[in-house]
Structure 1
Amino acid sequence: MSKVNIVEKLSLFHDYWNPRIVGALNGQHVKLVKFKGEFVWHKHDHEDELFYVLKGKMRIEFREKTVVLHENEFLIVPKGVEHKPVADEEVSVMLFEPDSTLNTGDTRGELTRDTLERI
């Protein structure tokens, strides 16, 4: 059992769209990630995802609407819902999702991360 300093962990990396695992509980991973630019349209058939904005602002685009998230706000994207995260400027995000969750869901490509680093 050890505490996690989120600011310290975020200082350990500077790339985008590459989540790092910082904790695990009950089959869930707690991940930190930085976003900038546009991600890919995707969905997760079996997993819900929680996006919690730590610093900055982002939006999550859906086919019929867009949700803007500011610091200290979160959104849960239900399984099976197609979405695309977008950040015009750098944003730091905490993700809560099952440990089986692939970052690009049903869309494989250059941003897919099959194995995540634990920091």
Structure 2
Amino acid sequence: MNPISLDDALASFDALWSPRIVTRVNDYDVRVAKVRGEHVWHVHDDTDEFFLVLDGELHLALRDPERTVSLAKGEVFTVPRGTFHKPSAPHGARILMFEPTGTLTVGDRHDEVPGHVDATTGHEL
């Protein structure tokens, strides 16, 4: 029941592509993550995925239609449910995501998960 500093939350871990749950809103997790390099092509069949860039720049490659959305600090984008996407951050970024509790970071369907990607439903702070 106390305010949560996103800077403190992000300073508490170093793992990339390994989101931490900072709070919950109804049945949704608010997650923060440090990202660098590429994630994995994946899709969430039943839920949208909200991204807010806290620092750095995040790229979201999308299929159908094929395009890339680039987000700078302070920008948001929602990937619609059923849309294959691949997040990447060549120079690194800190992001906030909003998605239903229990949502896998690699979606419901995905390419092979490389070792640097944490296939998780989020970790508690």
Range of TM-score over shorter length = over 0.9
Gaps of 5+ in 2: none
Superposition TM-score, scaled by structure 2 size = 0.90
2:5, 2:59 → 1: CA distance?
A: 25
Q: Is the 8 A contact 2:103 2:121 kept in 1?
A: no
**How far did residue 112 of structure 1 move?**
4.4
Q: Tell whether the 8 Å contact from 2:23 to 2:31 is kept in structure 1 after alignment.
A: yes
Sort the Cα spacing of 1:11 and 1:112 in 2 relative to 1 into closer, same or farther, 3 A: closer
1:15 aligns with 2:20: no
Q: Take 1:44 and 1:77, find their aligned partners in 2: how far apart are those partners?
A: 9
Count of residue pairs the alignment pairs up: 119
Match of residue 106 from structure 2: 104
Whether 2:31 is the aligned partner of 1:31: answer yes
* Distance apart, 1:2 and its partner CA: 1.4
Give ranges in structure 1 of 5+ residues lacking alignment.
none
**Which of the numbers 80, 83, 105 marks the counterpart of 1:81?**
83
Deviation at 1:113, TM superposition (A): 2.7
Task: After the TM superposition, list the runs of 4 or more consecutive aligned residues in structure 1 that deviate by more than 6 angstroms.
Answer: none
Q: Is the 8 A contact 1:61 1:84 kept in 2?
A: yes
Query: What percentage of residue pairs aligned between the two structures are identical?
Result: 37
Aligned AA (1:79): R
Q: CA RMSD in A?
A: 1.3
SS in 2 for 1:8: helix
Distance 1:27 1:75 in 2: 20
Is 1:113 the counterpart of 2:115? The answer is no
Alignment of 1:51-70 (within 5 A): 51-63=51-63, 64-70=66-72
**Separation (CA, whole Å) in 1 of partners of 2:120 and 2:75:** 28
Deviations 1:67-116 (A, max 9, x none): 00000001001110000001011100000001131100122634243353
SS at match of 1:10: helix
Q: Matches of 1:58 and 1:116 in 2, distance apart?
A: 19
